[in-house]
Amino acid sequence: MTITYADFDKVDIRVGRITRAEPFPEARKPAYRLWVDFGPEIGEKRSSAQITRHYRIDQLIGRQVLAVVNFPPRQIGPVLSEVLVLGLPDEDGAVVLIGPGHDVPLGGKLF
């Protein structure tokens, strides 16, 4: 399927920093609850992510990640997920987070 640049431009992908992470024992698959700061324009948003295979909670705090910030909130069990943190599957299907190779200003838009 081919899309136009205008289609791509509708997806608002921003960089944020994980400020807090907790286990999410109520999730059907192992996951964490995340709080991600996208800077003053967007603020802090919540999400959940099935990233327990590659990351411990202490490895997540302070990490910059990319996320879609303009999807409508989605209820996942007791968690209202406000953003979709992005990742890629490894060879076994476990999620590897996507983020910049160097620190960049929070809220920066992918283009």
Specify the pLDDT at position 111: 85
Measured between its terminal Cα atoms, the distance across the chain in Å is: 20
How confident is the model over 101-111, as pLDDT tens digits? 999 999 999 98
36 has a pLDDT exceeding 90: yes
CB 63 within 8 A of CB 34: no
Report the distance separating Cα 51 and Cα 80, nearest Å. Answer: 17
pTM above 0.85, yes or no: yes
- Residue 59 and residue 21: Cα distance in Å, rounded? 10
Query: Domain limits of the chain?
Result: 5-97
Q: What's the pLDDT tens digit per position in 48-95?
A: 999 999 999 999 999 999 999 999 999 998 999 999 999 999 999 999
96 — pLDDT class (breaks 50, 70, 90): very high
Which pLDDT does position 109 carry in this prediction? 96
Cα–Cα distances (Å) from 17 to 1, 10, 21, 60, 75, in that order, read 32, 22, 11, 9, 22
User: Is-contact 34 27, C-beta < 8 A?
Assistant: no
- Please determine, looking at this structure, whether the domain spanning 5-97 carries the CATH number 2.40.50.140: yes
pLDDT above 90: residue 39:
yes
